[in-house]
Amino acid sequence: MSENKLLAVNQLQVYFDITPSMFAKKAIVKAVDGVSFEIGKGETFGLVGESGCGKTTLGKAIVRIYNPTSGNIIFDGVDIANKKNKDLKSYRKQVQMVFQDPYASLNPRMTVGEIIKEPMEIHNLYTPAERNQKVQELLEIVGLKPDHIRRYPNEFSGGQRQRIGIARTLALDPDFVVCDEPVSALDVSIQAQIINLLEKIQRDTGVSYLFIAHDISMVKHISHRIGVMYLGKLVECGESEDLYRNPLHPYTKALLSSVPIPDPDIAKSKKRIILEGELPSPINLPSGCRFRTRCPYATERCGESEPPLTQVGTRDVSCFLYEK
């Protein structure tokens, strides 16, 4: 994997200062707190976790909508974590993002043609005639009609809009796309359509994805490897089939047992792990292991120090249960 590595995130931290006034007590949200992973060329890395665990923040920090507090984002051998916005032009051309809400991610005052053309205009690619031709090609790839080019986003359904959004990200032929919950705002039947489209694009162009979602069964379907996040940290990371069959970290186990099973007989026989307590506030994190307040296996030691991410077989887990 290391020889065709495309992106490496190393100890990335994204903190937000939310201190209300100059005199109030300092309040810092540690949205992403030391996350490391790698993504290879043509690979899909799935990121799961419950709401508020920092997965979207991580995705937005990678495309540099948010500025990382510390750590490295190494893309194609270059660290872009601390580059100034004006030095990011070539990075912006290679990395794109598909957004969660297809109703908010398209400018309502621009036609579909203008929306898809915009990235090419910004990067001065192609002549105007070539751009129009490229728009037609992209519309065909995402399954829209050529005459949709003059229409406005409000005339389309959610699934169609998401496909327009995907066509826009493809306009620059990116090497890497961050998909931030691209299907969670869509109807289930449309979800499959979009997932299949993303997979087809990957087969045809060899693009890499960071696929962010909270539905682990969907992430397993599309991803080669999966990372599980809890409160700003990666708690488990491994091959997707392997992790899905045999979760190691107690949080991953709980997350997997919450996946509904279509067969009621099997569902009855399966034991569900129900987590006690609330998600702790990311401003005031528990000492030691972040998961210990809700973990059924928590011991005294978990409160004293934080378990490091250690390798267990092909897997990385951050839990004292698997310490050698």
Partner 1 sequence: MELSKDLFRKLEDNEKNSEFIAVQSRTYLQDAWIRFRRNKLALAGLVFITIMILGAIFVPILSRYTYEGQDIANRHALPSAAHWFGTDKFGRDIFVRIFYGARISLSIGFLAAFINLCIGIVYGGISGFVGGRVDLFMMRVVDILYSVPEMLYVILIMVVLGSNMTSILIGICISSWVGMARLVRTQVLSLKQQEFSLAAQVMGASNTRILFKHLIVNSIGPIIVSVTMMVPSAIFTEAFLSMVGIGISIPMSSWGTMANEARELYQNYPIEIIWPIACICLTMLSLNFIGDGLGDSLDPNKK
Summarize as ranges the residues that interact with partner 1 (CB under 8 A).
60, 63, 65, 88-89, 92-93, 95-97, 99-101, 104-109, 118-119, 122-123, 143-145, 148, 150-152, 154-156, 160, 165, 168, 172
Interhelix angle 128-141/112-122, nearest 10 degrees: 120
- Residue (74 or 172) nearer to partner 1, CB: 172
The C-alpha R_g of the chain, in whole angstroms, comes to: 21
How would you classify the pairing of strands 315-317 and 233-239?
antiparallel
Q: What's the min distance (Å) between Cβ of 161 and partner 1? A: 11
Nearest distance from C-beta of residue 138 to partner 1, angstroms:
14
**Residue 104 C-beta: closest distance to partner 1, Å:** 4
Nearer to partner 1 by Cβ, of 156 and 291: the residue is: 156
Q: Which is nearer to partner 1, 165 or 238 (CB)?
A: 165
What are the start-end ranges of the E strands in 49-195? 70-75, 78-79, 95-98, 176-180
Of 1 and 122, nearer to partner 1 (C-beta) is: 122
Cβ-based neighbours of 244, under 8 Å, separated by 6 or more: 216, 217, 220, 226, 256
Return the DSSP state at 153. G
CB 7 → partner 1: shortest distance, Å? 15
Q: Which two tokens stand for residue 315?
A: 């897997």
User: In the complex, what is the shortest distance from the CB of residue 203 to partner 1, in angstroms, rounded to a whole number?
Assistant: 21
DSSP 206: -
Select 171 or 255, whichever has its Cβ closest to partner 1.
171
